[in-house]
Structure 1
């Protein structure tokens, strides 16, 4: 999918930078170099995420980056202790930094709010709905209000999160079990 939402491009973030490939032909359209790239082994352990502002977002080498597709350059980059993957919705990025969850403006990375789980460290990916951000630790899943940045409820199971139709939150636990919670 391309940044216009109409399809046609595929994005891959590698040591060469952000590669933009024509989805039909497989031909490399262009590469946006990342001068701050820090090689950390054979696996990137991250995936680029298409943003809503003709940009692609990624975390690499403890940095949060926004690649500007229109100008084919790094739009902005922040260095801290960023880990994991980016979740983006309605112009806001949700990322893990120093054991906390941060909400940041997609336009420039400005910090909007920070939340830390009362127990454990956030892990895996986050999941965002119209009004809540779901965050998991090893033992709990939390629902955080998008407006206030405060958690509104806790479920005593942590794991990989997915949202099913009809507002069912699925938590795949490390022991192989799955919890299903109606959150609508």
Structure 2
């Protein structure tokens, strides 16, 4: 069975409020020294599939500078310093980005965005009974538009591999769909009726 590397030395090359770049000197279980090994320390992330009572998913469009494009995706964000419960972060981010709140929440996933070089964890949630109850509250550089999409239309595009989105958002959609279909949660009955024919076409 593979064994963890031993860290011989570690230093911070750069750090600000967004990320920390760490450089490690490591030794593998077979005695191979790896130097430098770059690690990007990032805060944990959350994303959510928020579904309204009329079976629409609150998606967003937002400019993402890494690729220089406006991207379609899920409401999402980072766990702020002092926040210890990813669910509370998800509820805050949904309110800030869409002005919505939701009655029922369930965590559908916990994953590592890139375990090779990133230190953080991404938590995915499904929120049902979502409705817009207030105003959005964007960060200074944010410009976000809420786009409600019918659940059936969204998952038809997902299963046809037509969605071009952030990878963690695609995973979040798949996890929410699997929860709806397989959990047996009675709150999911109406949504299950919508998705079941897409996953089991006649």
TM normalised by structure 2 equals 0.24
Larger RCO (alpha carbons 8 Å, 6+ apart): 2
- Higher alpha-carbon Rg: 2
TM normalised by structure 1 equals 0.25
- Tell me which protein shows more helix as a share of its residues: 2
- Tell me which protein shows more strand as a share of its residues: 1
